[in-house]
Amino acid sequence: MRKLKVAMIGGGGSGSFFGKVHLRAVSLDGTREVTAGVLRHDPKAALEAAEEWGIRGFPDIATMVKAWKAGDVELDYAVVTTPNFAHYAAAKSCLEAGLPVLCEKPMTLTVAEAESLAKLVKKTGLPFVLAHTYTGHPMMMFAKTLVADGAIGEVRKAESWYNQGWLATALEKTGQQQASWRTDPKRTGISNCGGDIGTHAFIAATWVTGLAVRKVSARLNIFVEGRKLDDDFNVIGELSNGGTALITATQIAIGYKNDNGFRIYGTKGSLEWHQERAETLLVRRGTADETYWIGAGGYPASVASYLRAPSGHHEDFFEALANLHTTMERLIRRRNGEEGIPEPFAHPGVEEGVAGMRFVKAAVESSKKKGAWTKV
Amino acid sequence: MRKLKVAMIGGGGSGSFFGKVHLRAVSLDGTREVTAGVLRHDPKAALEAAEEWGIRGFPDIATMVKAWKAGDVELDYAVVTTPNFAHYAAAKSCLEAGLPVLCEKPMTLTVAEAESLAKLVKKTGLPFVLAHTYTGHPMMMFAKTLVADGAIGEVRKAESWYNQGWLATALEKTGQQQASWRTDPKRTGISNCGGDIGTHAFIAATWVTGLAVRKVSARLNIFVEGRKLDDDFNVIGELSNGGTALITATQIAIGYKNDNGFRIYGTKGSLEWHQERAETLLVRRGTADETYWIGAGGYPASVASYLRAPSGHHEDFFEALANLHTTMERLIRRRNGEEGIPEPFAHPGVEEGVAGMRFVKAAVESSKKKGAWTKV
Amino acid sequence: MRKLKVAMIGGGGSGSFFGKVHLRAVSLDGTREVTAGVLRHDPKAALEAAEEWGIRGFPDIATMVKAWKAGDVELDYAVVTTPNFAHYAAAKSCLEAGLPVLCEKPMTLTVAEAESLAKLVKKTGLPFVLAHTYTGHPMMMFAKTLVADGAIGEVRKAESWYNQGWLATALEKTGQQQASWRTDPKRTGISNCGGDIGTHAFIAATWVTGLAVRKVSARLNIFVEGRKLDDDFNVIGELSNGGTALITATQIAIGYKNDNGFRIYGTKGSLEWHQERAETLLVRRGTADETYWIGAGGYPASVASYLRAPSGHHEDFFEALANLHTTMERLIRRRNGEEGIPEPFAHPGVEEGVAGMRFVKAAVESSKKKGAWTKV
Amino acid sequence: MRKLKVAMIGGGGSGSFFGKVHLRAVSLDGTREVTAGVLRHDPKAALEAAEEWGIRGFPDIATMVKAWKAGDVELDYAVVTTPNFAHYAAAKSCLEAGLPVLCEKPMTLTVAEAESLAKLVKKTGLPFVLAHTYTGHPMMMFAKTLVADGAIGEVRKAESWYNQGWLATALEKTGQQQASWRTDPKRTGISNCGGDIGTHAFIAATWVTGLAVRKVSARLNIFVEGRKLDDDFNVIGELSNGGTALITATQIAIGYKNDNGFRIYGTKGSLEWHQERAETLLVRRGTADETYWIGAGGYPASVASYLRAPSGHHEDFFEALANLHTTMERLIRRRNGEEGIPEPFAHPGVEEGVAGMRFVKAAVESSKKKGAWTKV
């Protein structure tokens, strides 16, 4: 089986961590490989980084897609993993050239950009996957299928959260790169905490339940003095079926590494999942609590087809992200007419990206209006 | 050492469970005993129940306090454990007669009653303890001392919750007594979920941090059709130091038994506690998460003086409630001039009761006004 | 309902902890009370301790049982909670006088004493309960009923353990009373760790499964220099159905408080329980792990009849011990012809005490013979 | 940086799972790639499998190493992942030709083979890594450094275990390939459970502590009728410092997926680790239990240099195995004189393989001699 060739856009900076994360997620299965890229914004730095990575470097995206169109380089899709502000232009360039895109989240800087991108994806019909990594966890995929199958009845309430502590102090003043661009409105947009991790909580509440958030009442806080964007994000939302969503995120929870998770309460049962214990899903619907384990069965074929390891051997962060690449791979191979390719899972795409952008925008507005209910 | 004599008001109904719970909490240490009571509202039933319990029965409170004043029955304090609507009158009768009171929560039916009771307690100077059982858990007491000692710095955010599932269906229609009075506005007041368990979450956020909730934005839901009071309660609050509180409670979380707990995030560290794992307190302030265990040390003498069992042997629900009775016992014995009585812990009293009533009222109002920020 | 009157033998020393523990377990339900006792070995100290406890004191057991036979004091049963070496004489005196006994474990100092006591119990037909506290945990009782009902098929293997760390240093040299008598062969017998906590692990493996240990291969260690008795106890046993038991205990596991528990593997499923998380029982027999919670149902009436608190409100150490007293209470009330008394659970009695003594003896012998398989 | 070229020997069968696991572990970091192999024993099948994998296939090892020596194929090391019986010959062929080997465990079929291989490794001086995957977990590496640094004092006791349930029934009779060869003495050797997973428990007890097991007393069981090799493995061992090891493994623990782990008790503290929660290490040495998290610091640079993901984003099974490949990669690159290559961690090699083989052999012999202490 021919390996898919992947181009990486961004991710080559010395302080970047997601570039290498995607490299590993692409490489893991031995069916895809990163072979080219525009790893940094500065053309010279981009070429140097590519050499260091051992891939074919391009000084900019335009040059790369041109080379691809000219048959000068073989590419199957691009990964966009630049800082937020550059997502839109990068994704746009690829899509316009006909190259499928797997894009980091938040999808764009503004709702307008997001909507424009959605139109482009629709027009081109190209595969587009949004890198909501945690949705690649098999137990989160399993949760989605359980809700869809009615296992917990009608959803009444969704609680989702994302607690981190790394921005509890003014880390950005130390020059730490991740902290610097995330707290800078120019590079990050209107929300730091909401956009960076609140969107993950949003996806947990909506993607798993298959529901939208219709309106929100929010309180965003800036706890660290001198910061310009929120580092704490609290939203009560109304779901499209009339239910309630409680979506919170914080970066000032000292000692919490990556405490992302959700609880979904339905008329017949409940689901609970924690990213820091990603391998188990807790289902409550009878006398005993049920704990499902990755690799130990119970989930449908749509989930099972993504698993790599036997029972008890966990797959975690890299494998979850690799699953999004697998979805992209399946979309592309099926599009290419390859046979025997399993069905791709319904991972988040451009529509979820638009919804996430609108959600953050509504939350920011509601918070400014002292929590007034605001339409998403 | 002479055993304290305790009168029980309420708690004798066949469907009641808290009467026997208090009986056990009173009895546990062998230093207090229930010897008299008005166990039911109906005079005849009250006398019958007392006979069944093997204690001296009275047909009503007035008769009991009269007998006590006349030296006809020995009493040290009364436990009020009637349905909510009757708390006020019962506590008032005892206090006016000079008898200390340990009262179930929510303290009264209305804020006005609560304020009136607070005045009475102040005027009489009598010991008054509010039965916020969970504050009797040594690890919750430890948490309060840690915050007071500055172990986690200044509090930025308090999250507290209380998830139950027992009212996920219309249990009150089956005649179940607990469900019937809790969902009935006449016997319960303006809020079911908020008053019953939201107040526990409120106490966790305020008593542990030593902060007040200044104003709230709330969304209360009624998920079960035909119900007149909230079965789901979501509040974003502003703390008296400008911090944020997230206080939620629900009775529709199927499979959740008594998932009460809190996380407190400060400028130097975080605390986390779960009632269903009451014996441990999680502290995060350095590289490793720290887990403290009941019986294994680390806490100050003010907490240690309440412990009964050696390391690894847990104390739980009955012992937590018994600790509130211990606090009442210490207050009384010190008042009586007994020597060598350890210091009573600062468990919730009448002021916390007033605050809780005001909090629930403000939340109900905010919810009616579509989440408008409402002063507590 | 008349309260049962309980005599306490031992437990009044200043360094004793189990006296007060039994006092609480007796008192908890309000249906039993400690009213008399011989709280210390020294007659004068015994009378002083009784006064301090507020109960009727006796200088020695003979005097007490004489007074009881003469109708001078009302008694229903005695609790024997002296150091190990004195169990036998105390229990014997009571039983010979016709007084039922709830006895601490290990039951006696020697196997011969244990067998003699068993004969006496058989001859008198008196209720006798062995204070294996952990068997009073509802989830451990539930485990026993599950095995008996065939829920996990035929038992193949039982693993049970008891890890503590409190004797990791020569605590006995500091004069600490608990450490002193436990490490002293004269007061404790042939084994410290095995007798003190190995017996708990033994009961977990045998009482829960309903199987005996037929023969053992053991390695006992003394890790702390200068100690005369084992502080580490490792046994591989053969069960009466041909299965294998792995029974271990240690007192040198620094930081482990009271890590007692078991795993039982059968042909159809497995059970797992931890004393430090006593409120849950883990059952594995299908795709999902099942977690049962105290108060949340699933267990038979024989277990349910012992529960005091609603779902989610845990009962723990004192309640477990109180359950053994409840069993004693039920035995006595039924013997007295009282009606409506629920069936007592099959808690450990004198036969289990004999088996425990034989087990420890065989383990000590096997260890001396370098692990040679030794008949129990 | 040039990617290392890896040859895979074995792992290409349709029922094999470890071939693909190694493929992923090799590929993950993008610095190594599988480019050639002898994927199956049958020459024709080997070539077909290679084509399917998209790598250069060889009909047998001799042909492959010949081609390599001739400069006809570029190779840096070989991965041996055949069934146990073929490890020896495969590893020998590679080493004799000068090709480094990363070999699956148990290392060989017999102790004699293991010793012969050890001599060969010593003679050639070639890098040799034994695929004890779990030693690649950063928290297990951290545990080893803690013991070496004296953080828990002198080791007194090591408990290690490996509980699985997949062979609780006669799965081998259904034709399941993994079950068939593991229970077949010809392909597996003298022990199934001991060799397959008991060796993992053995490594946990010895590699982490830096101690050897000097002698053993064992009880091996065959619980499933008709089986020829052990499916349950229990060993009490004496450590080289006089301490005790408790090493157990079972394949009949229904519902247990991969419950591998250890507890190490020292004179100053304790360590605890569970493979199914591989991301945390529990250290007990003071008042509070300490929980260390992967990515959250506390470990030395020797461990940190292996980490790929930020705090809270777990690395698990594939990453652990990849870490062994990283160690091999570092050994090779340093040998090649590349600069800036971090120090390889002391992962298990040929000596640990010999020790494991001797341990299993001694356990089998002791069990036959009814548990007699047997020298390792």
Q: Is the pLDDT of residue C220 over 90?
A: yes
What is the rounded distance in angstroms from the CA atom of residue B248 to the CA atom of residue B234?
Answer: 4
Amino acid at D330: R
Helix or strand holding residue A277 (H, E): none
Q: Rounded distance, CA C286 to CA C270, Å?
A: 10
pLDDT tens figures, D148-189 = 999 999 999 999 999 999 999 999 999 888 899 899 999 888
Query: Quick one: pLDDT at residue C14?
Result: 73
Q: How far is the C-alpha of A179 from the C-alpha of D31, rounded, in Å?
A: 29
**What torsion, rounded to 10 degrees, do the Cα atoms B80, B85, B91, B96 define?**
-150
Cα(C172)–Cα(A17) distance, integer angstroms: 55
Q: Which of A146, A159, A258 has its CA nearest to residue A205?
A: A159
Backbone angles phi, psi at C32, to 5 degrees: -140, 150
Q: Is the dihedral of CA B45, B49, B51, B55 positive or negative?
A: negative
Nearest to C6 by CA among C336, C351, C332: C332
Q: Which amino acid is at D224?
A: V
Q: Which two tokens stand for residue A315?
A: 């797959």
Q: How far is CA A23 from CA A11, A37, D50, D267, in A?
A: 9, 11, 24, 45
Question: How far is residue D376's CA from residue D369's CA, in Å, rounded to a whole number?
Answer: 14
Q: How many CA atoms lie within 13 A of A313 on its CB side?
A: 15
User: Which residue does chain C place closest to A295, by CA atoms?
Assistant: C287
- Mean pLDDT across the stretch B350-369? 97
A145: tokens are 């299928």
Please state the three-class secondary structure of chain B as a single string: CCCEEEEEECCCCCCCCHHHHHHHHHHCCCCEEEEEEECCCCHHHHHHHHHHHCCEECCCHHHHHHHHHCCCCCCCEEEECCCHHHHHHHHHHHHHHCCCEEECCCCCCCHHHHHHHHHHHHHHCCCEEECCHHHHCHHHHHHHHHHHCCCCCCEEEEEEEEECCCCCCCHHHHCCHHHHHHCCHHHHCCCCHHHHHHHHHHHHHHHCCCCCEEEEEEEEECCCCCCCCCCEEEEEEEECCCCEEEEEEECCCCCCCCEEEEEEEECCCEEEEEHHHCCEEEEECCCCEEEEECCCCCCCHHHHCCCCCCCCCCCCHHHHHHHHHHHHHHHHHHHCCCCCCCCCCCCCCHHHHHHHHHHHHHHHHHHHCCCCCEEC
**C-alpha to C-alpha distances, D175 to A359, B281, D171, D213, D252, nearest whole angstrom:** 53, 50, 7, 36, 18
Torsion sign across C-alpha atoms C36, C40, C46, C50 = negative
C116 by Cβ neighbours in 10 Å (0-12 / 13-18 / 19+) ranks as middle
Chains that touch B (3 or more CB pairs under 8 A): A, C, D
Q: How far is B122 from chain A (nearest CA, A)?
A: 37
Structural contact between residues A80 and A90, judged by C-beta atoms closer than 8 angstroms: yes
Show the low-confidence residues of chain A (pLDDT under 70).
15
pLDDT at B256: 96
d(CA C75, CA C55): 12
Amino acid occupying residue D340: G
Partner residue opposite A291 with nearest CB, options C288, C297, C298: C288
Overall average pLDDT of the D255-259 stretch: 95
Q: What is the mean pLDDT of residues D342-370?
A: 97
**Rounded distance, CA C160 to CA C155, Å?**
14
What are the C-alpha distances in Å from B112 to residues B88, B354, C170? 10, 9, 62
User: What would you report as the CA-atom Rg of chain A, rounded to the nearest whole angstrom?
Assistant: 20
Residue C259 has φ and ψ, to the nearest 5°, of -80, 75
Peptide bond into D106 cis (omega under 30): yes
Contact status, residue A83 vs residue A90, Cβ threshold 8 Å: no
Query: By the 8 A CB rule, do D362 and D376 touch?
Result: yes
B56-57: strand order across its sheet: B56-57, B32-38, B4-9, B77-80, B101-103, B128-130
Q: Which of D28, D53, D178, D182 is most worth mutating to test chain A (most A CB atoms within 10 A of its CB)?
A: D28
- Could you tell me the domains of chain A? 4-126 (3.40.50.720), 137-310+354-375 (3.30.360.10)
Determine the 3-state secondary structure of D357 from DSSP: helix
Q: From CA B333, how far away is CA D27, in angstroms rounded?
A: 73
Dihedral pair phi/psi, residue A284, rounded to 5°: -120, 115
Give percent of chain C above pLDDT 70. 100
3-state SS assignment for residue D236: strand
Cα distance between residue C364 and residue C122, in whole Å? 28
Q: Rounded to an integer, what is the distance from CA D298 to the centroid of its chain? A: 26
**Can you tell me the distance from the alpha carbon of B349 to that of B102, in angstroms, rounded to the nearest whole number?**
9
First CA to last CA across chain D, in angstroms?
44
Contacts of A223 in chain B (CB under 8 A): 156-157
- Position D83 confidence tier, pLDDT thresholds 50, 70, 90: confident
Banded pLDDT at B363 (limits 50, 70, 90): very high
Backbone CA torsion sign across C293, C296, C298, C299: positive
Taking any CB pair shorter than 8 Å as contact, residues of chain A touching chain B are: 152, 156-157, 159, 163, 165, 168, 217, 219, 221, 223, 232, 234, 236, 244, 246, 248, 250, 252-256, 263, 265-270, 284-286, 289, 370-373
In Å, the largest CA–CA distance within chain A is 63
Q: Which of C215, C135, C228, C153 is nearest to C185 (CA)?
A: C228
C interface residues, B as partner, C-beta within 8 Å: 1-3, 17, 20-21, 23-24, 26-30, 33-34, 52-54, 164, 166, 256-259, 275-279, 293, 295-296, 308-319
Q: Which residue of D has its CA nearest to A255?
A: D296
Measured between alpha carbons, how far is A243 from A149 in angstroms, rounded to an integer? Answer: 18
A73–chain B nearest CA distance, Å: 47
> Averaged over C280-300, what is the pLDDT?
95
Mean pLDDT, chain C, integer: 96
- Banded pLDDT at C18 (limits 50, 70, 90): confident
> Model confidence at B309, in pLDDT bands (50, 70, 90)?
confident
Which of C287, C291, C297 is nearest residue A298 as measured by Cβ atoms? C287
Residue B88 near residue B61 (C-beta atoms within 8 A): no
Across the interface, whether the CB atoms of C268 and D252 are under 8 A apart is answered: no
**pLDDT tens per residue, range B159-180:** 999 999 999 999 999 988 889 9
Which two tokens mark C87?
Answer: 């169990």
Mean pLDDT of B250-277: 97
Question: How many CB atoms neighbour CB A340 within 10 A?
Answer: 6
Q: Are strands C77-80 and C101-103 parallel, antiparallel or unpaired?
A: parallel
Assign D266 to helix, strand or coil.
strand
- Quick: pLDDT tens for A76-120: 999 999 988 999 999 999 999 999 999 999 999 999 999 999 999
User: How many CB atoms are located within 10 Å of the residue C52 CB?
Assistant: 12
Q: Which helix (H) or strand (E) holds A180?
A: helix A177-182
Mutate to test the interface with D, among A24, A33, A164, A294 (most CBs of D within 10 A): A24
Interchain pair D236, C152: CB under 8 A? no
* A129: Cβ contacts below 8 Å, ≥ 6 apart: A101, A102, A103, A324, A327, A328, A331, A347, A348, A349
Name the minimum distance, in Å, from the CA of D375 to any CA of chain B.
Answer: 38
**φ/ψ of residue D207, rounded to 5:** -65, -40
> How far is the CA of D273 from the CAs of C210, C239, D140, D283, D315, in angstroms?
32, 30, 7, 9, 15
Do β-strands B280-284 and B289-293 pair in parallel, antiparallel, or remain unpaired?
antiparallel
Q: Average pLDDT for residues C31-40, to the nearest whole number?
A: 96
Written as six digits, the tokens of B83 are: 């349905």
Q: What is the pLDDT of residue D81?
A: 95
Q: ∠D222-D227-D233 over CA atoms, to 5°?
A: 30
Determine what percent of chain D is predicted with pLDDT higher than 90: 90
- D159, D255, D371 ranked by CB distance to C289: nearest: D255
Cβ within 8 Å, pair C314-B311: no
Facing C296 at nearest CB: one of A287, A291, A298: A287
Rg of chain D in Å (alpha carbons): 20
Torsion over CA of C280, C283, C288 and C290, rounded to 10 degrees? -30
User: In whole numbers, what is the pLDDT of chain B averaged over residues?
Assistant: 96
Q: Which residues contact B239 (CB under 8 A, 6 or more apart)?
A: B155, B158, B205, B209, B211, B212, B213, B214, B245
Contact A102, A79 (CB under 8 A): yes
The one-letter amino acid at D365: E
ipTM of the complex: 0.94
| pTM for this model (two decimals) | 0.96
